[in-house]
Structure 1
Amino acid sequence: MDYKKTAEEILQQLGGAKNVQSATHCVTRLRLKIKDESLIDDEAMKEIPGVMGVMRKAGQYQIIMGNDVNNYYRAFVKLGNFDQVSEEKETQKKNVLAFIVDVISSSMAPVVPAMLAGGMIKVLLIVLPLIHLLSTESQTYAVLTFFGDAPFYFIPIMLAYTAAQKFGVTPMLAVSVAGIMLHPDFTALVADGSPLAFFGLPVTLASYASSVIPILIMVWLMQYIENFFNKIIPAVMKTFMQPLLVLLVSGLIALVVVGPLGIFAGEGLSTIVVWTQTKAGWLALGLLSAFMPLIVMTGMHWAFAPLFLIASPATPDVLMLPAMLAANLAQGAAALAVSFKAKNPNTKQIGLAAGISALVAGVTEPALYGITLKYKTPLYAAMIAGGISGIYVGISGLESYAFAVPSLVALPQFIGSTGNSNIINAIIVAFASIILTFIFTWILWKEEPVKTKINTIGETDTQDTTLPSGSSDPKKVSAPLQGKIVPLDQVNDAVFSTKMMGEGIAILPENDLIVAPFDGTVTAVFPTKHAIGLTSDSGIEVLIHVGIDTVELNGLHFETFVTADQKIKQGEPLLKADFAAIKAAGYDTVTPIIITNTDQYIEVVAKEDLEQADFQDALIYVV
């Protein structure tokens, strides 16, 4: 297929590059913003090789290209300087908080394995000396220390890469900006404390090691910086001038603008908490313990450094470290509760490792980014329990006599020279935080059950399990979700109702989980998570398109459990969609299941006589 020629013909029929305002694509079609749609002849557009149909919908001119749309899109965007439609902007307007959480969690998700590794190394550094298998004075201990610290210290660099992929920024430029913020010479200047200026502008002396929010803000801004220079720099100079200017401007903003925002926010928070602590200590400690996960996430806890870094018997810390004891153990308990309750093996493993890391070593990032923030309700449980425990911290006047990251192993930091009351209170706080969080998480967090129905001749057996290997019928596509059957010709989208993509059926979902309809392979998971392509072991190609026009949500309300090229078994979870939220956002949730290689079969028969589909009901047969 000549993608370039087809793209050129499409652009010509659109009225040229000047008539195209922006271009993007979903799983089946080009989605274009056109300045003047009256210039387009729909019938002429349909005659172009590769074009299956056109639609004018939701302010877009949509050209249906089928499964090969990505190749057509790449060829098309090379023909002009088309802006991508910013789905993030749309999502941001609809729900700012959900957008922020989605950006953080999706950017952090690929980093979680590294944090888990670092956290477990820190656990070893605590346990091995306790059982006398490793000396804290040995070179091995020193080397392992920076092994454990590295994944956390360099989080900004890793996030620069993952966030760049989300926002469409050049990854290596984003990584370079993170490198500026962590450069050893800049770190040394920060430690020296002398005033620093860049082009006459004051540079805030801030440490960005282990921080999350500053680099995410910077990469988000870089999409606009790159786009600006891409528009104004002549093509002949773009190769060297654009990266130069993007790096200079982004680095300047990072050190001069983003730095002060973080510092001012941290200092403001510190002032408020200290003032509250002098007026009502129990309230300050309760709030600080409850919101500690969010404070650590922003890096603003370092604003309290003068208070807790000098912790000693002479000057005990009565604020930050006691609050962190309640908060850290709450994160660990929440992760453990999810691990014990989850049926998904991957969730169980991540939860267990993250829980141990937080409880034993006080390293909460794996729990926060791998479990609690991702699933939300465990985070709420940890914050509530941490707040309750923090109130007791304030009432009891708990003091920390040494600087150590609070954890079960580090409880001796609360042993004082004036009796046992302080360490007893610390133990009470620790167990209260763990027990309350575990109970709250167990109640609040619910994992979607995977129910499968195995059909054999003469009997039907429903059980909460995945079908065993080899049980997938090579000529059958089972129901990937529960809900009401809808004939394909009744779907409110011409691409599906006219069967341009192939034969199939649709389901109006009554459950948020989508599972594998057969044994096979995941051929594609669209970046916006609203559609997934599968191929059975017998060669049946299926597209599951969750909702209509849900590409506009840009992944909001969707969670995927599989990746491209992954082998799947019938009944295995593929993705989860919050259909209530999708419906509330104004989108049709009807989900078409399409056989995209229909032309390879004599007949494709959809079971439209069914009124209701349950997991693994026979839905489509091929001959």
Structure 2
Amino acid sequence: MSSNKEVTDQIMTYVGGENNVNDLYHCATRLRFTLNDKSKFNIKELEKMPEVLGAVNSGDESQVIIGANVGVYFQEIVKNYHIANDGKSEKQASSSDKKDKNIFKRAINVLVGIMAPIIPVLIAGGMFKVVLALCSLFGMNQKGTNYQILSFIADAAFYFLPFIIANSAAKKFNTSPYLAMLMAGVILHPNFAAMVTAGKPIALFGMPIRLVSYGSTVIPIILIVWFMSYVDKFAEKVSPNMIKTMLKPLLILLITAPVALIIIGPLGSLLGDGLFAVINFLDAHMPWLVPTLMGTFCPLLVMIGMHVSLTPLAALELSKYGSETVFGPGMLSSNLSQAGASLAIAFKEKNAKAKQIALSAGVTALSGITEPALYGVTLKYKRVLACVMASGGIAGLYSGLTGVVRYSFGSPGIFTLPVFIGKNPNNIINALITAGIAVVVSFISTYFFAVIDNKKEVNDTTKAKSTIEVHSLKGVVDGQLVPLENVNDQVFASGSLGSGVAIYPSNGMIVSPIDGIISMVYPTGHAVGITTDDGQEILIHIGINTVNLKGRGFKVNVKQDQKVKAGDPLVQVDLDLVKKEGFDPTVMVLALNTPKENIKVNKTKNITIDDNLLNISSLG
């Protein structure tokens, strides 16, 4: 099994390297990159990695879907790579933004980029509210000190939401997050809040200020920080270098704060009121519509990572009414439909490995995380996506007709069903029935209508055995042949990365053993991947733990996607440096997608780059 470092190095290679990354953050299941050149985002190679569930370009973002371990890999990348939020120059940023002239699409991408990083905050506050509701249900006195303290802890995540959004928005708009949070402090200041509560008209130098309570709001602070980003650029240009440190932040505050209070904040509040009017209309006249649509089309939104764009609407509705129907009921229906479909495939599938994947994905979907089910089951088998969407729509329709609402944030699943406990005692009952409909209908429809073509797999295997092709690999370096099981590294010796052979080198010139295309080059130069025209994948790993040299002593002579011939130089290694630093220089040559029994290794003790190293028998 590859280490976290090797996995993240490979991911960074396939997104175009450190210099191609303008920004990186993560949500619950995926790494979200903003790249300077999206053409370098290698979806095909990323999806070959066992640790990656999928990869997709969504608007301005290039997303690598990981699952539950996304936080681990994110921290590994942050630790080993220098990725700044403002890594893209102003010129690059404006050029990139102009590429997409669809204003609506750009707005959605910005909204997703702002909201996705703060979802853990919303979940923390939401689940704390669930705990508080359960405490009240089991007898805690709501007028007591304990309840009051727990209550303001839970409310803090929502009341001070503008501070959190300001930080995230500042990173998206390439401006100072600290000054952005200062703007949030202006609209949330206790003195201003007291003026709003008093209800008496106020004005600044004769200009009226609309009395708005900005606690728990979303849209006003996003618009304020967006405006501030332009003020930031203006202040940068007009401030003399000698006094820029003092003058620039003063100008930003002096211009942005009054405009925020007089114009932008009230405008954002009016936009919010408009959205409330739409939500009220739908709840009053078509309460079934939104949960049905969400239950049906949520898998498609998740595929492109745009489901996050609905979070502001849910947050707005929660802050205004204490419950929401935009996101929770429909997503509960969709998530558990994914679970039902995966469990059905686990029962129906005959292949042991596929059965295990489906069962694991089903359990994960029950807990509210659906990417493993979506990419491992729903999109893999014929008709399953249709079953999931139909089942989610039916369950969503029931939740809409019965008025199911969600009282706080939390990815809808069986473990977060308490988010549906609230003022209406029937709400949790109908949420449970919604969940049951989703799982049962999806399970039954998938079991009877999904297509698992085991017969085709058998026929393909039989056909494949009819012809055998043999590929010969030359030596990659002069040296002494070492059986792979004798290598001083358990991962390589066990064959878990692939079967092959090792060479203890006598010089530092590593060459290609076969004709093919460079499919991967580690930034540190210690490993190179080659793929032949018929799909044979060869990994050349230079030294043991030499990744820790961080490229010192390695001169890479090839680039990703470059065609190479057998004998072409790949990497020049300073063996003296490698040995001096205490690392084993043994070079491993592995056939990644070939069974051990199909590999025949040369028995010669010494090898040169002109000798035959091993033969690979492939079924074709």
TM-score class, shorter: 0.3 to 0.5
